[in-house]
Amino acid sequence: MDLEITTLAERPHLAAGMNELADSWPEFMLHDIVSNIFWTQLQQVFPNFALVGTYDGTVVARGYSVPFALNAPGRGELPPGGWDRVLAWAFADHRRGVTPDTVSAIEIVVDTAHQGKGLSGQMLAAMRENARRHGFGELVAPVRPNAKHTEPHTPMSEYAFRTRADGLPVDPWLRVHVRAGAQIEKVAPNSMTVTGTLEQWRRWTGLPFDTDGPVVVPQALVPVECRLAHDYAVYVEPNVWVRHPL
C-alpha cells in the first residue's frame, strides 16, 4: 500500500488524526516554552506547509514546516537558537506580513506502529517538493539527530560531522537528510530549552534529581543541568542545521 501525502490545506478533515498520532517523544520534550506558545497554531496558520501521510485514509505520519524570511534585516544566517528561533521568526513574519524567502522543517513524525518502513524519508521528500512547489529555492532543518542520545557526553560539534566509511553521517536521521541532498552546515547549540522545578523533572523522567550538576536523562541529547539549592533543572538541546537546495 502506497503512502498518500498531501498538505493539510488539501485534506483539512485530517487535522485531528495528525494530532492523535502515537509518537515517541519523551515527556520532557513536550515542555519547551516556545513550542507550547506556537504549536497549536501550526495547522491554522500554515496549513499549506503541514503535510499529512495516510494509508487508506488513516493518518500514519505528519510533517510540519514553516516559511520565514532568513534574509530579513538582522538575520542572514541560520540562528544558533535553531528550532525555537526559527519557529518564532516564522510566526513573527506572518503576523507582520513579511515576505518569506526560505522554508524550515519543524517536525516529521511517523506513528510508532509504522516506524522502520522508510516513511520518514518519504515525508522529507514530500516536504522538499512542497517547498519547491511554493516557489522556494531552499529547505533548511534544525535536525535532532536520533541516535545522539546514546552519547550524551559527546559534543554535538563532534557527533554531527562524524561519518562512516562511505562518507555518510553516522547518525541515521542526519544520513536520511544527506541522502536526500542536504548539506550539514553547523550546530545550533541552543536549539530548544526546557526548564522546570526539580519536582517537575522528577515527574517527567522518573529520576530523583537529587544531585547537583549534569544528569543523564534517557532520550536527552546532552545532560540536564540540575541545581538543588535553587530548585530547578534546565535542558539546552543542540540540534544540527542542514540545508536542502531545491
Measured CA to CA in angstroms, residue 213 lies from 38, 103, 113, 236 at distances of: 31, 38, 37, 14
State the pairing for strand pair 138-143/102-110: parallel
Give the SS3 label for residue 60.
strand
Q: What is the pLDDT of residue 28?
A: 98
Provide the whole-model pTM. 0.96
Cell numbers 544528569 correspond to what residue?
Answer: 215
Q: What is the mean pLDDT of the chain?
A: 97
Averaged over 186-204, what is the pLDDT? 98
User: Tens of pLDDT along 107-163?
Assistant: 999 999 999 999 999 999 999 999 999 999 999 999 999 999 999 999 999 999 999
Closest to 201 measured CA to CA, from 230, 239, 175, 166: 230
Maximum distance among all Cα pairs of the chain, rounded to whole angstroms: 56
Q: Sign of torsion, CA 203 208 213 219?
A: negative
- Confidence (pLDDT) at 1: 65
Three-class SS state of 230: coil
At a CB cut-off of 8 Å and minimum separation 6, what does 74 contact? Answer: none
Confidence of residue 64 (pLDDT cuts 50, 70, 90): very high
What pLDDT shows up at residue 126?
Answer: 98
pLDDT of residue 2: 87
